Amino acid sequence: MAPISRTIALGLTIAKASAFSQPPLVSRALVTTASPFLASANGAANNNNNDKNPTRQPMARRMIGSILDLLSGGDGGMISPDQAMKGRPQKMAGIDGLRHYVLGNKLEEVPDGFEVAVFGNGCFWGSEKSIWRLPKGIHSTAVGYCAGYTPNPTYNEACSSMTGHTEGFRVVYDPKEISYVDILRMFWESHDPTQYMGQGNDRGSQYRSGAYYFNDDQRRLIEASKAAYEKALGGREIKTEIAAASDYDKYGGLWYFAEPYHQQYLAKPGARPYCSAQPQGVSLPPFETWAPEDLKEKHAPALPEAFWKKHGPVRGCSVVRFDNEPILESSY
């Protein structure tokens, strides 16, 4: 986001609950263009409990943030750590003990022997749903803010591009049941990784594509699959950010949970079927053609090609139309 856009967005962020009801901060043209979303955000601002109005507020703020980025040229430049908002030591309220709306497990827990994966592909609502629907091995999914500089950011702050975070999803999975490679494949195929700092109409650093690794195996699999997928996309350059989770320890950590009303948003009554991700309808090449030789046995996919032919992402974001329950193994 260009400096002028960041200034506007910051002004919008620091006002009461939803500053998008403050039209003097933006031009008349912006207010006219965004009037449906301003009205929606203003309605949400009159209710201090975000959980009671989970559908209107996120959409309005997402659209306003994207409009600001588009007006600034949509280049989505990253803020520097020293310019980022300071944040707070308190963790997100309402996450302790919160259970997955579909799977029923606690969002924060990582059982013994289970592993964690974190990705960002522009739209965390749809991204999360594509993973919790996998037929086996998924203990929980969650949405949040990752790879930024501000401790414990809020949705408003992350959408201002002033924290450096991207909207991400976290997966706790059983590697005995499902492979990291299965989750990685869904990540690549569920969005357009060649877009820079955005997906579809959602523009800005908060919508950038990212893959974040917790060990060397994950790093090597991400890098090898990226090279293979780039070729499958006809040589179009993949812009996905690849970084170690530990790179963000000095900023408080890689991952922060988003507000409870965002968790499993698309499964909740009244949710708007919105997803800006742009799947390309292109499959990741077969695992054996790109995987490092010493990782082929350990990380072999658990999901057969029949699953991907029946349930894999298609061009355009379609996950919002699918059932919320996990896919049955008997269906493919």
Catalytic residues: 123
Q: Could you give the C-alpha distances from 48 to 45, 63, 100, 257, 293, in angstroms and in order?
A: 6, 20, 24, 20, 54
Residue 181 in tokens: 């490679």
- CA-based Rg of the chain, rounded to a whole angstrom? 19
- Counting every residue written for the chain, the total comes to 332
User: How many whole angstroms separate alpha carbon 82 and alpha carbon 75?
Assistant: 20
Contact 39, 21 (CB under 8 A): no
Dihedral, CA of residue 114, residue 136, residue 317 and residue 61, to nearest 10:
-40
Alpha-carbon torsion 235, 147, 57, 15, what sign? negative
Exposure class string for 166-202: b at 16+ Cβ within 10 A, else e: bbbbbbbbeeeebbbbbbbbbbbbbbbbbbebbbbeb
Find the helix or strand (DSSP H, E) in which 171 lies.
Answer: strand 166-173
Buried b (16+ CB within 10 A) or exposed e, 289-300: ebbeeebeeebe
From CA 123, how far away is CA 277, in angstroms rounded? 6
The secondary element (H helix, E strand) that includes residue 217 is helix 216-232
